[in-house]
Amino acid sequence: MSDIQQPLASQVAKSNPGRSAGKIFIDYLSHSFFTVMALFFVVILIGVYIFIGSQSYQTFTAIPDVSTIRLSFFDFFVSSKYDGAQNFGSLFFLEGSFSLIVTTMVFAVPFSIFLAIFLAEISPSRLRGPLRGAVELFLGIPSIIFGLIGLLVVVPAIRDILNFFAGGKFFNGFGLIAATVVVTFMILPTITTISVDAIQAVPRDLREGSLALGATRWQTITRTVLPGALPGILTGVILGIARALGETVAVAFVIGGAFHAPIGLTNFYPYIYLGPTSVMTTDLLFNFKEAVPPSTLYNTLWTMCFVLLVFSGILVGISRAISSRRIYA
Amino acid sequence: MTPTRNSHFWAKTFSAAAVLATVLLSACGSSSTTAGTSTGSATATPSTLTACTVTAQQLTITAASTTPTAPTATAGLTGTKIAIDGSSALEPLFKQAHVPFDQVNGTVTTTNPNGSGNGLKDVESGAVNIGLSDFFYQQNSATQGFTDLVDHQMAVVAFTLVVSSDIHSTVENLTSDQIKGIYTGTYTNWSQLGGPNETITVINRPLASGTRATFKQYVLGGVTESAGQTLTQDTTGAVATALSTSQGAIGYVATGFVLQPQFATTIFPICIDGYGATAANINSGNYKFWSYEHAYTKGAAQPAEQALINYVLSDTVQSSLVPSLGYLKVSDLTAAAQATHPTP
């Protein structure tokens, strides 16, 4: 594909002397229009980074006065002491987002890869169409619907299960577990559909070769098809991570929004805190609307924005690096 | 593909599913055993929890009618634009009142409920004509320098503490000290206050919320809430919804919310220091959890702004829209009530 050069309008004009001047003009016009649009897009992207970056930097450079205090990097990124007035240690927001990604991936990745293998390789063709349709329908459900179902079904269910094991009314159900359940279901179809495409893109010759050499169908799937589809599957996983990182509305319904780290540490072992906690996006959602500049809260929210932006940029970079690799050249 | 091969793979699929289910179950089991359970130690406090009872019906504010009569036209306002931004608690009043006002005067009024802080900021910068706020501009460190703003007090909004349905018969009244203890994390179980052995689920509003500022000033006495344990809900509606699905939960909402039919059996108002959020208790100065709803203009109000403010303060709006939207009248407040909310 890439080794075929598309002829430029000027070359077409030379080689096709019969073309009218008007058509060539439109050709030139559209060519420059699309170029400008593409450049415009890049300019906007750079602008977003510069704008949010400069806003976020104020957290560390603000001149202290009645409404603003200046924070050090240590105060903001390493501390978890937060009260929204004097202390803005935001480490636990980062911990929250990363814990949510890890717990979500633990459930979503195996499940969606199994589902993808079933859809692409095992499922009888009669079942394949409807199942694929169901997964894609799932993909289109707006996140607020996941949030409402989470609030009205998942949270009470988790509360009752935890209270049953704890033997009393100790839990309210909000927190990391509820968020994990909701986000797992949200990103399942993302990873599944991309994985199905990746598995189906593995050349048929390879499967037939494997089967002809005497491999069972399971051996063919695990040792020939899955390795070939791995870059595609990993791209799906990275996009799933990006969605888990950026998901706001559905998580805000069920995470609880407390200023509490999701991972605790006893003297001997770390444990998952089962009460309400926070992630970066819910902090922004809850507090940005009424935060007024100039204030430290307002500055730190921009810093959080920038952290989110950088992480999502890194994830996109990783997914591009992975998807450009080919196992079977 | 032969039938025999197919049956093999079904067997394998099911075994894989079984493995997955086992993994899922064991993961669930282990996470719940590592729970940091908070256990309540029962202290023998003499119970004041049922010393006072208030029902949603007692908070009802009766309105003579729901539609105000149109104002008389003020000359020379045709075509004037009035932009309003600010408190989502006061915006409904202006949103409804500006319709007959615009029809008569030919003005064009737009309202945007972006929060009290943004309302103050926008009127100070000249981006809007009127900024709506739940608090005096002097009460917020980001807005306290806006000394050229002129205050117009349009209405009073009463707030009430509410609890979830499972504890409403045992927790009907809390003292100020008990509320401070709950919101600062001293009390984590209702049994510490003489109630049932249930963890207290505390529901708070976002940091910069005007309602939260009112709660902090007039109920908590300026004490900073504990950061760790409380649930945060975005809006008053979300607080009410979270309360309706929670157990042992406490939160605060504008009184208008407990009157809504969908919350009639799920959230219940309680008393503070023996007084419910009734108009009588507010006007007598015994119940302090309310706030003035302010409309600020930059300097003295321009003719169009003044005409709209005068219309909202007129008898017809104050006796129709104000009560029907759940506000109390500023003019009803006694000196005792005003003394609890002095201008800073």
- Domains assigned to chain B: 81-157+291-340 (3.40.190.10), 158-283 (3.40.190.10)
For residues A17-28, average pLDDT = 80
- The number of C-beta contacts closer than 8 angstroms across A and B is 149
Q: How confident is the model at residue A213 (pLDDT cuts 50, 70, 90)?
A: very high
Cβ–Cβ gap B207/A84 under 8 Å = yes
Residue B174 DSSP class: E
Q: Which of B2, B85, B234 is most worth mutating to test chain A (most A CB atoms within 10 A of its CB)? A: B234
| From B9, B199, B229, residue closest to A170, measured CB to CB | B199
**Is residue B4's pLDDT more than 50?**
no
Cβ–Cβ gap B207/A292 under 8 Å = no
Q: How confident is the model at residue B130 (pLDDT cuts 50, 70, 90)?
A: very high
| Chain A residues with CB-CB distance to B196 below 8 A | 169
Q: Which of A289, A295, A298, A301 is most worth mutating to test chain B (most B CB atoms within 10 A of its CB)? A: A289
**Is residue B132's pLDDT more than 90?**
yes
Q: Residue B162 pairs with which residues in a beta bridge?
A: B251, B269
Q: Which residue has the tokens 């990391």?
A: A176
Cβ atoms of A310 and A77 closer than 8 Å: no
Domains of chain A and any CATH numbers: 92-323 (1.10.3720.10)
Q: Residue B293 pairs with which residues in a beta bridge?
A: B155
**Tens-place pLDDT, residues A137-165:** 988 899 999 999 999 999 999 999 998 98
Structure token pair of residue B323: 């009560």
**Tens-place pLDDT, residues A291-323:** 887 788 889 999 999 999 999 999 999 988 887
**Tens-place pLDDT, residues A167-189:** 888 888 899 999 999 999 999 99
**Tens-place pLDDT, residues A31-76:** 999 999 999 999 999 999 999 999 888 889 888 877 788 888 888 8
| Chain B residues with CB-CB distance to A272 below 8 A | 31, 34
What per-residue confidence (pLDDT) applies to A62?
A: 84
Q: Which value does ipTM take for this structure?
A: 0.75
Give A 161-200 residues with CB within 8 A of chain B.
161-162, 165-166, 168-174, 177
**Tens-place pLDDT, residues B206-244:** 887 888 888 998 999 888 877 666 788 877 778 888 888
CA distances from A240 to A189, A316, B21, B274 (A): 9, 11, 22, 53
| From B9, B32, B116, residue closest to A162, measured CB to CB | B32
Find all residues with CB under 8 Å of A42, minimum gap 6, and list them. none
Give A 50-109 residues with CB within 8 A of chain B.
66-67, 82-85, 106-107
Q: Which of B139, B141, B183, B246 is most worth mutating to test chain A (most A CB atoms within 10 A of its CB)? A: B141
**Is residue B40's pLDDT more than 60?**
no
For residues B75-81, average pLDDT = 88
Helix (H, G, I), strand (E, B) or coil at B162: strand
Q: Residue B251 pairs with which residues in a beta bridge?
A: B162
What per-residue confidence (pLDDT) applies to B20?
A: 46
Q: Is A290 on the interface with B (CB under 8 A)?
A: yes
Rounded CA separation B85/B117 (Å): 10
Q: How confident is the model at residue B41 (pLDDT cuts 50, 70, 90)?
A: very low
**Tens-place pLDDT, residues B251-279:** 999 888 888 888 888 899 999 999 999 88
What per-residue confidence (pLDDT) applies to A53?
A: 92
CA distance A41 to chain B (A): 30
**Tens-place pLDDT, residues A215-272:** 999 999 999 999 999 999 999 999 999 999 999 889 999 998 888 888 877 667 778 8
For residues B121-142, average pLDDT = 90
CA distance B225 to chain A (A): 8
